[in-house]
Structure formats: C-alpha cells, structure tokens
C-alpha cells in the first residue's frame, strides 16, 4: 500500500494569517496521525511564511509516524534537518520567492552538489529523496547522486488528468519503470487530490509514498479532516 503523508503547511498558513496559535499546528499533526495518516510533511521556507523552523523542532518531538521535511538545502535548512533528524528529507530546488514548488532538480547539472548534500544526511541515517520531473535523464542522474528515493513532481499529471488521463500519466509510468530498474524508490506529490489519486497510484509501480497538502486541506473544509484522510487511504489501497 502506498503511504499517505499529509503536508500541513496550509494549516500553518491559516494560523499565521491571524497570529496566535489557532489552528494549533502541533495538535493538528497529532490528530492527523490519529485519523490514519502514515506520515507528516512540512516544507519550511526561509521567510517562514507558513511552517516555521520552531514548528519543525516541536513536530520532531511528537510525530510518531514518518516525518518528512522538504526544502532547498541552504545552510540553515541543513542545520535544521541535522538537528531534528526526520525520517526523510526531500530536496526541492524552490527559489526563495516561489509561491510553491514549481520544478524538479536538474540532477545532471547539480549532480555533484546533490551527492554531497545527500551524503551529509545519509551519514545521520536520514532517508533522502530528490524532487524531480518525470524525465528519464533526471532519474538516471538522480541515481548517480546516491539518493534513496525520488519524488515525482505531479503538477503536469494533475493539470492534464481530466482532459486525457492516459496521456497525462504516460511520462510518469516511464519514469517509474526506469526508477524501479535502477533500484530507486518512488514518492510523488503536488496537486494530487481525491479525483486523480487512485488512477495515479494504480499505474505507478512501487509507489512508496504520496505527499498531499493543499488539495487535502481544501477537501477537508467540506468533508472534515478525518473523513478526507480515510478517503485517501481507501483510494491508495
């Protein structure tokens, strides 16, 4: 079964909009785990506009499932990961002013850099994942970085799913087959939702984990957090 990791950035965004501690990000993570999620994902950015670095520190003490910390590995981010020692670190090449992640790594151009960063985390027994587009060349060079996993950037799939789902998933199937051949485990995330998650999970072999935040939180506004998490778990079976 593909594991569901819930990205709680949007809960932090709502909290930060008014100040104070409502909703409580830490309690939300505890509740999300109790509702059945198999992981918690956060993506702290340098301006701390949603998840704050201190949130990551607090979460590292209470998350009992898999804890996944995403981000661009600048020195401050590296120090935070080494301090909190999550289950997994996902390297994302987002610019400081990016609204959200909008591209995968050029693993050929940045191969040496990624290899050095990954070694730092693996020395501390932290599983590593690289955020990549579904391009065979990027998968091949990701292998050379010694990463444990790659996370397929699924915005293109989600954007084109309703028009032609077979075409939308084609590149992802090819990328996943290559990753399996190279013995790299697979994660996926970005714009996956209750409408498109089943088809994706059914067609991507050896999909270990999906990280879902924005859509899941939006769906929870109408259906409730517990109901939505249970719906995702059923679709991922």
Q: What residues act catalytically? A: 43, 70, 190
By DSSP bridging, strand 149-153 and strand 127-132 are parallel
Q: 3-class SS at 104?
A: coil
Residue 69, strand partner residues: 42, 89
Give the 3-state secondary structure percentages of the chain, helix then strand then coil, rounded to 5: 45, 15, 35
Angle 53-60/25-34 helices, nearest 10 degrees?
Answer: 40
Instruction: For the chain, give the number of residues.
Output: 237
Which of 77, 83, 81, 82 minimizes the C-alpha distance to 93?
77
Q: How far apart are CA 82 and CA 109, in angstroms?
A: 25
Angle 214-223/9-18 helices, nearest 10 degrees?
Answer: 70
Contact residues for 75 (Cβ-Cβ < 8 A; gap 6+): none
* Beta carbons of 104 and 201 less than 8 angstroms apart: no
């Amino acid at each position: 079964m593909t594991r569901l990791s819930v990205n709680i950035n949007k809960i932090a965004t709502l909290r930060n909009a008014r100040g104070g501690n409502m909703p409580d990000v830490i309690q939300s993570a505890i509740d999300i785990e109790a509702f059945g999620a198999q992981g918690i994902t956060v993506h702290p950015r340098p301006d701390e506009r949603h998840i704050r670095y201190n949130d990551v520190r607090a979460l590292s003490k209470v998350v009992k499932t898999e804890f996944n910390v995403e981000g661009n590995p600048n020195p401050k981010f590296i120090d935070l990961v080494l301090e909190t020692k999550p289950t997994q670190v996902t390297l994302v090449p987002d610019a400081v002013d990016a609204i959200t992640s909008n591209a995968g790594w050029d693993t050929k151009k940045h191969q040496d850099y990624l290899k050095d960063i990954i070694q730092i985390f693996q020395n501390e027994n932290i599983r590593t994942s690289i955020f990549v587009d579904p391009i065979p060349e990027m998968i091949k060079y990701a292998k050379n970085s010694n990463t444990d996993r790659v996370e397929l950037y699924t915005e293109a799939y989600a954007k084109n799913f309703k028009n032609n789902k077979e075409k939308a998933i084609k590149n992802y199937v090819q990328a996943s087959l290559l990753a399996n051949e190279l013995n790299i485990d697979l994660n996926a995330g970005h714009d996956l939702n209750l409408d498109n998650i089943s088809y994706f999970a059914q067609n991507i072999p050896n999909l270990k984990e999906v990280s879902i935040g924005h859509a899941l939180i939006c769906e929870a506004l109408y259906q409730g957090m517990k109901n939505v998490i249970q719906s995702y778990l059923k679709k991922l079976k």
